[in-house]
Structure 1
Amino acid sequence: MTFSSSGHGPMARVGVALSHGFTGSPVSIQGWAEYLAAQGFAVSLPLLSGHGTSWQELARTPWIRWYQDFERAYLELTERCDVVFTAGLSMGGALALRVAEHHGVAGVAVVNPGLTFSDKRARYSRFLKYVLKSVPAIGDDIKLAGVSEGAYQRTPVAAVQQLAGLFKDTVAGLDRVKAPTIVFRSAVDRVVPESSMEVLAHGIGSTDFEVVRLENSYHVATMDNDAALIFERSAAFFREHSGGQ
């Protein structure tokens, strides 16, 4: 379920590490990865630990392993590329930002990045996990009919506690993100609240920060009506900040 490309042509020395979201899999951003690969970029899209198996497995996975999986993909690209960007959807956006806090990324491109919760019960997940093992899925928030990201049908409460830990850690270090950052934000998102955008805009250390509004997509915008816009604008962003045309 992973995807990688060594790139071709003048963009082969430009890498992009992409991350999928919480309870999802590379399926949700496969189209994005394939588009960038077709444009010549070197691309790495890993399957994060606890994902692509079962929600019970995810419940046993600490957030640091999600981060380590994605960081490894980034570092592997740095070994063969001149510059490397991080990118991600939802929780993958948080991971992309956290890598940028700790490494000299060339830029960050995120889609509906998660940094806060819309469900107030999340703050009590460390207690709820003992009495409530899982809750209904958060997947498939897609406006385009007949499209599915194939996410888990249940969300493990123990993993929500881990997600909260990732969010807290990432938010605390946002001021260290100095790289150019582009954010694609859906007008309607029933998964990630607007408070995530507010936290990001106020906390990020980058002076090159752009928000692109997506008027015809829900949360999983990389599989929705505005997918082509995301693909094209992000590729242009990567070219611009890598010195390419």
Structure 2
Amino acid sequence: MSVGCLCIHGYTGSPSEVQPLVEFLDNRTAWEISVPTLPGHGDDLDLRGHYYQEWIATAELALLELLKRHDRIMIIGFSMGGMIAAYLTAKYNVDRLVLLSAALKYISLPQMYKDIAAMVLGATQGTLDSNELFLRYQKKLKQTYVFSTLEFMRCVQFTKPFLKKVKCPVLIMQGKLDGMVPSKAANFLEKEIPVADKEVIFLAKSKHLICHGDDKDELFKHVLTFAKGF
């Protein structure tokens, strides 16, 4: 029995968002792991002229390739990639689904205010250049095509109804300090997905980039344990 694993990154992101988890699984399993870059995404964004249907189609084509070669499939989706992952899981009756900071709800205002306050303090103290969150999102804001954000929201709205059609075991993981997706999004996902075999885990020290957070080792172990159900 062979296993294929599809990992889908988030909006304005790249495979680097999930790379630590991919490397962990690659070193401990014999799975084929596919991590496509969605159109217009990557280290240098070029989102103008790209639509959410392309993002879904790219992930779907990668899944179809895995289905040709493997008996069992797990999909891991981060942020917007989580919503695409849920859609594909429902459409193809995938065996396992992992949702990381999935963007069913977006923008956690309380945590965002805290992050902004930290950036302001860093600016006054001359330490802003060492604020990893600021550096990461400063680049994204400069490169993000404004109308692409509408495509992101359309992607979430299109994929949301398919949460109710997921039939396989699901692992939902969410950072409590997430400034982009509110932590309560995990609870909404739990309610929307009708299967009995599902687990929600909150990581106390993690922000949005959950695979790079201080709790990442805990995340990795939970995903690997979840996958042992194959």
Identity fraction in percent: 27
Equivalent position of 1:162 in the other structure: 151
Matches of 1:191 and 1:20, distance apart in 2: 15
Residue ranges of structure 2 left out of the alignment (5+ in a row): 110-129
TM-score, normalized by length of structure 2?
A: 0.82
Equivalent position of 2:219 in the other structure: 230
User: SS of 1:79's equivalent?
Assistant: helix
CA RMSD of aligned residues (A): 2.3
Pairing 1:43–2:33 present:
yes
Equivalent residues in 2 for 1:34-183, closer than 5 Å: 34-40=23-29, 41-52=31-42, 54-55=44-45, 57-118=46-107, 152-154=140-142, 155-183=144-172
| Residues 154-196 of structure 1, C-alpha deviations (whole Å, 9 max, x = no match) | 3322111111111111112211011100011111110012453
| Residues 31-63 of structure 1, C-alpha deviations (whole Å, 9 max, x = no match) | 1111111112211001111102654x3132110
Q: Relative to 1, partners in 2 of residues 1:157 and 1:175: Cα closer, same or farther, differing over 3 Å?
A: same
Matches of 1:77 and 1:108, distance apart in 2: 15
TM-score, normalized by length of structure 1?
A: 0.77
Equivalent residues in 2 for 1:25-36, closer than 5 Å: 25-36=14-25
Q: Is the helix fraction higher in 1 or 2?
A: 2
Amino acid at match of 1:152: K
| Structure 1 residue 104: Cα displacement | 1.3
Amino acid at match of 1:47: T
Q: Relative to 1, partners in 2 of residues 1:50 and 1:197: Cα closer, same or farther, differing over 3 Å?
A: same
How many residues align? The count is: 206
- Whether the aligned pair in 2 keeps the contact of 1:60 and 1:158 (CA below 8 Å) is no
- Whether the aligned pair in 2 keeps the contact of 1:28 and 1:149 (CA below 8 Å) is no
